[in-house]
Structure 1
Amino acid sequence: MEFGSLTDVGRRRSANEDAFCVDENLGLYLVADGMGGHMAGEVASALAVEVFRESLTRTKNSGLAGTERMRIAMHAANRTVRGKSFANPLWSRMGTTITALLQDGSDFVIANVGDSPAYLQRNGDVALVSRLHTVAEERGVPEGGFPSSFYQHILTRSIGTRQGVDPYVAPLDIRLGDILVICSDGLSDKVEPREIMRIASFSTPKSACRQLVDIANERGGEDNITVLVMRFI
């Protein structure tokens, strides 16, 4: 695998509430997009990444399937972030998304909670391989009221905001020549999936990350921007 990673505060935010993890020894590639006032989102995403990584480290030689290890890590992150949200009034109701790829031996697992997307390109075809846990995707857009774009940004699931969490976890078929991109919505709101994957196809992963962050900033940069690009060679 060749990979690149980059995170950027954007042009409108004073702090970066995104976090990411690339751990080749664990086979973990993860993006988290935090939310909450008073820097709570920054705390939530960083804490979730730390706990997720620690959980996968503990279960590495357990004999558990990769899908089960990812579920355990999601629930561990949820419990910890939620517990910490009660420890400090400034962190009340903080939460984060998580989208992660795990390479478990010769197998791959994709898992997510929230709306940070993962796109897979194979032979020119682009597919969303995560799930968007938003009102628009899971419940539909109510008639009247706010525009549809409003409901596309309201999360139905996140890490730390409820006692329990129901992550999307599934095996992922990866083949030679595939390209996988995981990003926060600071990128996906500004750049369409096919444009993201076209840039990832014709650039090195590190160069693609730089180009994609620059484009998102040129188009407003209202949110933090994080992107991981993986090319399977």
Structure 2
Amino acid sequence: MAHLPIAGATVSQGVAQWRSAGRTQRGQARLRNEDAFLDSPRLGSWAVADGMGGYRHGDVASRWVVSNLAAVSAHGNLDQRINAVRESLQGVNQRLRNEWIEPGAKGNEMAGSTVVALLLEKGRAACIWAGDSRCYLWRGQSLYQLSRDHSLLQRLMDERHISVAQAQAYPGARALTRAVGARSRLQLEVLELSTRPGDVFLLCSDGLYQALSHVDLGRALSMGTPQQAVERLFAGALRRPVRDDLTAVVVQP
């Protein structure tokens, strides 16, 4: 299993105390787990990366994403750290393009990965992503999806004002419109927000959120420690056979 847990599940910065937990598991349709995650409360940094299905070396791409994010310094303010994450992911994007794409290569001979990252400092948070791995926020007994999928499915719904079911009927609707390694220049999206007492963040790959309802996600995040929340998420997802890899990271600021 590809993940980079950093020792120490709790960290204090001034009055801030961050607790987190993560888990990943290979799906039945995969020969190897192409998901990876970063769980680093010491750095105030967490991430999930999902190697692109159907591409070669998806597991390599997701590991590179996570290992490079783990090396980003925690020094500086949140704006500086966001820029450092941008630079790190641009570097991974270029490396994947340089090392894995042969002249005339077809799409399935490339290496790519989604990424969703969470950065925290006292009272502030930033979600950074490309692709369809997601960041959720549980706040005030409500679940909010902070990230917006970079996928053809989402584009069809946005541009044609159609339902999820109608968009899913289009051929290739699950195709990604952004990912690390997919194009020469990586386009990242960033959302910044203030944190509140009681907030709980969830980073996860599409295999996890597709296996659970919105209500199931919220229920798991509403009780207990991050480790208990992760265990509840996986217990729910594994009640039935799952084809895709599952990854979740839960963070309590």
Relative to the length of structure 2, the TM-score reads 0.80
Q: Which has the higher contact order (CA 8 A, sep 6+)?
A: 1
| Counterpart position of 1:110 | 127
Matches of 2:188 and 2:196 in 1, distance apart?
24
Runs of 4 or more above 4 Å deviation: 36-39, 61-64, 87-91
Matches of 2:143 and 2:175 in 1, distance apart?
25
Matches within 5 A, 1:35-184: 35=52, 37=54, 40-54=57-71, 56-57=72-73, 60-61=75-76, 65-86=80-101, 92-104=109-121, 106-140=123-157, 148-149=167-168, 152-184=173-205
Relative distance call for 1:158 and 1:105 in structure 2 (3 A) is same
Relative distance call for 1:225 and 1:92 in structure 2 (3 A) is same
Relative distance call for 1:38 and 1:113 in structure 2 (3 A) is closer
> Which amino acid letter does the alignment assign opposite residue 80 of structure 2?
A
Matches of 2:168 and 2:78 in 1, distance apart?
43
- Aligned length, in residue pairs: 228
Q: Is the CA contact 1:3–1:228 (under 8 Å) kept in the aligned structure 2? A: yes
Matches of 1:168 and 1:84 in 2, distance apart?
25
Q: Is the CA contact 1:31–1:183 (under 8 Å) kept in the aligned structure 2? A: yes
Q: Deviations over 1:152-173 (max 9, x none)?
A: 5211000001101111112122
Matches of 2:173 and 2:33 in 1, distance apart?
22
| Counterpart position of 1:27 | 44
Relative distance call for 1:37 and 1:154 in structure 2 (3 A) is closer
- The percentage of counterpart residues that share the same residue type is 29
> Which amino acid letter does the alignment assign opposite residue 182 of structure 1?
L
Relative distance call for 1:107 and 1:202 in structure 2 (3 A) is closer
Relative distance call for 1:37 and 1:136 in structure 2 (3 A) is closer
Relative to the length of structure 1, the TM-score reads 0.86
> Which amino acid letter does the alignment assign opposite residue 236 of structure 2?
I
Q: Is the CA contact 1:48–1:80 (under 8 Å) kept in the aligned structure 2? A: no
Residue 65 of structure 1 aligns to a residue in which SS? helix
RMSD (CA atoms): 2.7
Asked whether 1:216 is paired with 2:229, we answer: no
Relative distance call for 1:63 and 1:202 in structure 2 (3 A) is closer
Q: Is the CA contact 2:48–2:205 (under 8 Å) kept in the aligned structure 1? A: yes
Relative distance call for 1:93 and 1:128 in structure 2 (3 A) is same
Matches of 1:132 and 1:28 in 2, distance apart?
21
| Counterpart position of 1:3 | 20
Q: Is the CA contact 2:56–2:109 (under 8 Å) kept in the aligned structure 1? A: no
More deviation, 26-35/170-179: 170-179
Residue 214 of structure 1 aligns to a residue in which SS? helix
